[in-house]
Amino acid sequence: MTAAGIVPDLQELQNIEAIKRLKAYYCLYADSGQNADEFANLFTEDAVLDEGEDGVFEGRVAIAKMYRDLWPYLRLNQHFVMNPLIHVDGDKATGRWRLIQYMTTIHPEGDRAHLAVGGYEEDYVKENGVWRFQRVTAWVHFCCDAAEGWATEPFAELLPPEALAALGLPTTD
């Protein structure tokens, strides 16, 4: 693990840049609504995508299914990730990122715009020279209705009950 302020060697820098690119593709595909298989292929076969209260998805097949089941309820999704802390140890690595996310969810009574702030903790594995996600754990500081703002409603209802049901998650209705 590289300590703060220590300059990594060339091989570690190359691995860090490859992992940054992996994360950039994660955001690109997550925001497109059209690339479920490409998104899932960023993960190892047995990977875990832990979205906290929004579900835990194990394996590429489940990750691709979650993506397909979720996108009919999104009109817009934009991930902005920053402040990567990536530590490489051979063919394994860990990472921590900060997240700002803008999204518009589709509801029967009208679309809702949301702002989420949180981050990711991730484990990576290099398979046949390619870095992939082994585990992605997302965490949220707040997710608010953009019209209300985070000061009045720090945890707004994000998805309609139909979307939660499609994902196999409990609904409040």
For residue 1, what pLDDT is reported? Answer: 46
**pLDDT the model gives residue 154:** 60
Fold that domain 10-166 belongs to in CATH? Nuclear Transport Factor 2; Chain: A, (3.10.450)
- pLDDT given at position 155: 67
pLDDT of amino acid 21: 98
Q: Where are the domains of the chain?
A: 10-166
* pLDDT score of 159: 79
State the pTM of this model.
0.84
The pLDDT of residue 47? 98
Residue 58 is predicted with a pLDDT of 98
Label the pairing between strands 92-105 and 74-89: antiparallel
Looking at residue 87, its pLDDT comes to 96
With beta carbons less than 8 A apart as the criterion, state whether 115 and 141 touch: no
pLDDT tens-digit readout, 14-36: 999 999 999 999 999 999 999 99
Residues of the chain with pLDDT under 50: 1
Edge-to-edge order in the sheet of strand 74-89:
56-58, 43-50, 130-145, 112-127, 92-105, 74-89
